[in-house]
Structure 1
Amino acid sequence: MAYRESFYRFLMTQRNPDSHDEIAEFANNAQHDQQFPKQEQDYEKLSDYLELNASYLPSMTIFDKAYELYKDNM
């Protein structure tokens, strides 16, 4: 089975402190979330975590877009 990086590792490649892009802002904020499931790849587990714990994420649609990018890049 091929190695697949975690969603968090992919998300960190989207960081840009000078950008107002919603995915970049999500990545910038997730970087400071000490409890973020950094090894996780599963959509449902990530979604559950974010819905309950990520007050910095204004809309789950942003996560959905980021996860689609993640899948496209894997």
Structure 2
Amino acid sequence: MRQSFYLFALKYRGGQKDDEKAVFANSMFNHHDFPKAETSFDKVSLYIEELADPNMPATVFDEIWEYYIEDSK
């Protein structure tokens, strides 16, 4: 079974303050209602779009998602 997107993205936490992926992961970690068990693009993407957190832009999500898919192969 594939790990959740949340668990995958956590590896970017703690990076440089100017690293968009690190900012995204830190913000994601601080949102306690983030769908932590999801592996579905649609469900995670919908959450991010509805949340509209400026520290979690869809463009960065898409970039991390691509790495997530590659890592799952």
Question: Match of 2:22, as an amino acid?
Answer: A
The count of corresponding residues between Structure 1 and Structure 2 is: 71
Q: Which residue in 2 is equivalent to 1:31? A: 29
Q: Which runs of 5+ in 1 are unaligned?
A: none
Q: Which whole-Å CA distance do the structure 1 matches of 2:52 and 2:15 have between them?
A: 18
User: TM-score, length-normalised on structure 1?
Assistant: 0.87
Q: Which residue in 2 is equivalent to 1:16? A: 14
Hey, which of these two has a bigger chunk of helix by percent?
A: 2
Offset at 1:14? 1.1
Q: Which residue in 1 is equivalent to 2:62? A: 64
Offset at 1:54? 4.2
CA RMSD of superposed structures (Å) = 1.3
Q: Which whole-Å CA distance do the structure 2 matches of 1:49 and 1:19 have between them?
A: 24
Give percent identity, aligned residues only. 37
- Determine helix, strand or coil for the equivalent of 1:13: helix
1:26-55: CA deviation from partner (whole Å, max 9, x where unpaired): 001111001100000100110000100141
Offset at 1:18? 3.3
User: TM-score, length-normalised on structure 2?
Assistant: 0.88
